[in-house]
Structure 1
Amino acid sequence: MSQAIVSQAPGDLKARVHAALPQTQCTRCGYPDCAAYAAAIVAEGAPINQCPPGGAEGIARLAAITGQPASPLNPANGAEDPRAVAVIDEAWCIGCTLCLDACPTDAIFGSNKLMHTVIEPHCTGCELCLPVCPVDCIAMVNVSGTDTGWAAWSGQQAGQALARYQAHRARSSQAADAAEASPAKNAVIAAALAKARALRKQA
C-alpha cells in the first residue's frame, strides 16, 4: 500500500476515491458498485485502472488521490467508449419488468405486461438491462459522439446517478420480500416469452 494511502484516514480517503468515480454503477470494475470498488482500492490496494466509464481521466484522478501510479485501462474490464444510453424497442417489449429490477438508477419506466421506456437523463449506460431482457429488445445508442470518459460525463450527472442509485437501493431493500420471484410471475413471463417468440417467428 502506498505512503499516500497510509497517511490519510481510511474513511476520508474512501470518500475521496468514491467521489472520483463516475457513479454509473456498471460493475465493469469487477465490484458490485462504485462504493465497493472505492473500498477495495483503499482497503485492499485494488488497481485504479478498472473503470471504463471513468477512462484515462478517471485513472489520473484516482492516481492523484491514492498515490498509485497511473496506468492504462485494463482491457479485461472493458474499453473507454463514447457514452451510450439504453433504448427499448417498445414493439417487442413484453412488460416482464426484469429490466426495471436490473436498472441501478430506476431509469426505466413501465409496469407488468405493459411496454417499458427509458428515461434518458437518468440512464448511466451501465448496460445491466441488456442481459436480463429475455426478448433482446434493448439496444445501446451513442449520445456523446466521440467524447469518452469524463469528457462525456459530468460531475453533476455523477451526483445525480449516485442519488438515484442510493434511492433505488433503499426501495429495493424495503421491497425485498415482495420483489422475490414467485411461481405466478414466472408463469406470466413464460407466457409472454412464448407469445414474443411466436411473433418474431411470424415476422
Structure 2
Amino acid sequence: MPTPPAHPRAPLPALIDRLDRILPQTQCRQCGFDGCRPYAEAMARGEADIDRCPPGGDAGARALAHVLGVPARGYDRSRGEHHRPAPVALIVEADCIGCTKCIQACPVDAIVGASKLMHTVIEPLCTGCELCIPACPVDCIEMVEPICQRP
C-alpha cells in the first residue's frame, strides 16, 4: 500500500525519519552530503532535491517525491551510476599494517580490527561506499563482488 504524502505540517523529525528510511543507507556521499541522514534532513528543510541518490535509483527518487508531495522524477545521473549489488571492500590482510584508518573512515562500522593487528571487512555490513580506500596508507583495500554474487 503506498505511503500517503507527508502532511505539510508534519513534525520535522518525523519527516526526516520517513525520508531516511527510504534512502539506501550506503552513506556513499554521492548526494553531496555526509551521509543518508544529513541528506534526509536537507530534503525535509527544502534545501535539497529528491534526485541526488544514485544508489536509490529512480524508484528511490519517486518514493522521496511521494513523501514530500513534489513531482516525481528520476535520479540525477550526473551524480553517478545506479549499481546493484554494490561491490564490497576486501582488505588484503597480508598487507594490512593495522593503522585503523579504514575503521575510522567506514561510516557503517563494517571494518573490524585493532591497532597494529590486521583488519577485515564484515561483508554483509559493507555498503561499497569506498571511503576506506583513500584512508588506507598502504593501499591494501580492493573492491570486489559480494561473495553471494561471485561465480
Per the TM superposition, whether the score is higher than 0.5 is yes
Assess if the C-alpha contact under 8 Å between 1:49 and 1:59 holds in 2.
Answer: yes
User: What is the match of residue 119 of structure 1?
Assistant: 122
Q: CA RMSD in A?
A: 2.2
Partner Cα distance (1:60, 1:145) in 2:
29
State the AA in 1 paired with 2:115: N
Instruction: List alignment gaps of at least 5 residues for structure 1.
Output: 147-203
Q: Are residue 90 (structure 1) and residue 98 (structure 2) matched?
A: no
DSSP 3-state at the match of 1:130: helix
State the AA in 2 paired with 1:122: L
User: What is the match of residue 30 of structure 1?
Assistant: 32
Partner Cα distance (1:95, 1:47) in 2:
40
**Cα offsets for 1:26-82 (capped at 9, x unmatched):** 222111121111110010341111112211121111111112222232233211012
User: What is the match of residue 189 of structure 1?
Assistant: none
Instruction: List alignment gaps of at least 5 residues for structure 2.
Output: none
DSSP 3-state at the match of 1:139: strand
Assess if the C-alpha contact under 8 Å between 1:5 and 1:13 holds in 2.
Answer: no
Identity of aligned residues (%): 50
TM-score (norm: length of structure 2): 0.83
DSSP 3-state at the match of 1:13: helix
Find 1:47's aligned residue among 40, 49, 59. Answer: 49
State the AA in 2 paired with 1:134: P
- Decide which structure has greater helix share: 1
Assess if the C-alpha contact under 8 Å between 1:84 and 1:144 holds in 2.
Answer: no
Assess if the C-alpha contact under 8 Å between 2:123 and 2:146 holds in 1.
Answer: no
Which 10-residue stretch deviates more, 71-80 or 58-67?
71-80
Find 2:102's aligned residue among 99, 106, 114. Answer: 99
**Cα offsets for 1:77-132 (capped at 9, x unmatched):** 21101222111111221211100101112211112222211111221222110111
Partner Cα distance (1:127, 1:18) in 2:
21
Find 1:68's aligned residue among 70, 76, 79. Answer: 70
**Cα offsets for 1:120-148 (capped at 9, x unmatched):** 122122211011111221111123999xx
Partner Cα distance (2:147, 2:92) in 1:
21
TM-score (norm: length of structure 1): 0.64
Assess if the C-alpha contact under 8 Å between 1:53 and 1:81 holds in 2.
Answer: yes
Partner Cα distance (1:4, 1:108) in 2:
36
DSSP 3-state at the match of 1:111: coil
Find 1:21's aligned residue among 18, 23, 28. Answer: 23
Partner Cα distance (1:12, 1:34) in 2:
15
Distance change in 2, residues 1:33/1:64 (3 Å): same
